[in-house]
Amino acid sequence: TQSTWGNRDNSKLVLLVHARRHRMLVAANGSLLAVVAYIFFSVVFLFFNKTILSVYNFRYVELIGVCQRITAILFLVVLKKAKLLHYPDFQPSMAVKLIPLSIAHTIHFFLSVSSLQGVNLPMYGALRRTGIVFVMTAEYFLQRKVPSKDVIKSVLVIIFGVLIAALRDLNFDATAYSYVFIGNIATAVYFVCINKAKHDTGLPEIGLMFYSNFMSFPLLLLMATNAQVFQQLSSFPYIADSGFLCFFFIAILLSFIVNYFVFLNTGLNSARTQAVSSQMKHFFSMFFAFFVFADSKFDVLNIVGLGISFIGSVWYAKITFTTKEISSKQRDKVPVAVELHAHSHTAPTSVEDDGVTNSLPQSKKIEDPM
């Protein structure tokens, strides 16, 4: 009898280990896919936005925000009705809890788009790279996370590269620069708010995305009304231009896709990993900008600085994911032994019955292991 129970225990141990490894592999692949998809769609979205703002000289940022929110809400509602997406129905009590996220979402959007108007893409990317510092600062004050010494070193490399890249800017605009730096702070708070809201509310990424768009819509509509955007729109010279309308509506659609991957990437990884993904987006977009936009002029010093900053970003990402992998392995060892000890008394009939399905997602938290 003891031999029979021993064989069952060994079989359950094998099942537990294989189930955990499979889920860890799926989670790792999902995390990588989220990063790659976010970078690709963000680069395309950045070029469409830059074209609208700089080539067509469209200055009504609030209207862009209103159209983006309407599109996102419609897509989310239709996809939910079609049972392609699943998230809880709207609840006023939940909406109150997510007010900080909605405000951060609105400020993040307005400052990010506004700063893109007066800065060329290479310099925009260089200045936005400093956002990781604000993310780390926000995480420390809001979540009490202290970065390791290696993380601090990698971030210093990023900052050093940015300083070199920023030494040469022939299109300096103090107002645009201030928008970028304030936007970095807003972006940091926004990413951390996504992370914290998911942890506090238990909502899936799609649910957070719905609430964020739904509640930021009236804020942006109020801003557009206050700025008299709708009265001034009739005087915009390209309002009936097919080229502008094509760029505008594709950019609106891309905003929904990019926003989704922001939530997904932050949910599967961490706020700082999302910040690194943003920096890589700006690095890749820099090269294409020299061939597309007239305000982007090639400068060796700028390229060298961005290269150093990119190396720092890669170093930081390596530290983050390596630490995450080690932490996951350490968590993976203890529960198996505990569960096996429990099985010697209860002997469940399937892997799902022992709580692995519930416990594994809990061990794969949004928070950075550091």
As given in the structure block, the two tokens for residue 69 are: 């929110």
The pLDDT score that the predictor gives to residue 327 is 55
Q: What Å distances lie between residue 39 and 33, 42, 137, 223, 261, CA to CA?
A: 10, 5, 24, 29, 9
Contact 123, 182 (CB under 8 A): no
Q: What Å distances lie between residue 282 and 119, 127, 276, 306, 316, CA to CA?
A: 13, 10, 10, 9, 16
**Alpha carbons 314 and 107: distance in angstroms, whole number:** 28
Q: Is 58 left (phi over 0), alpha (psi -120 to 50) or beta?
A: beta
The pLDDT score that the predictor gives to residue 101 is 87
The pLDDT score that the predictor gives to residue 279 is 63
Q: What Å distances lie between residue 62 and 25, 66, 223, 257, CA to CA?
A: 42, 6, 6, 19
Contact 340, 13 (CB under 8 A): yes
CA-based R_g, the chain, Å: 23
Contact 110, 228 (CB under 8 A): no
Contact 128, 278 (CB under 8 A): yes
The pLDDT score that the predictor gives to residue 65 is 93
Contact 324, 35 (CB under 8 A): no
Alpha helices in 227-270 (DSSP H): 229-232, 242-268
Mean pLDDT split into 10-residue runs, the chain, 370 residues: 54 49 48 81 88 90 93 92 87 89 88 82 75 78 81 88 76 77 83 81 84 92 92 91 94 87 71 66 74 70 80 77 57 43 34 29 30
**Alpha carbons 266 and 53: distance in angstroms, whole number:** 28
DSSP state of 54: I
Contact 162, 130 (CB under 8 A): yes
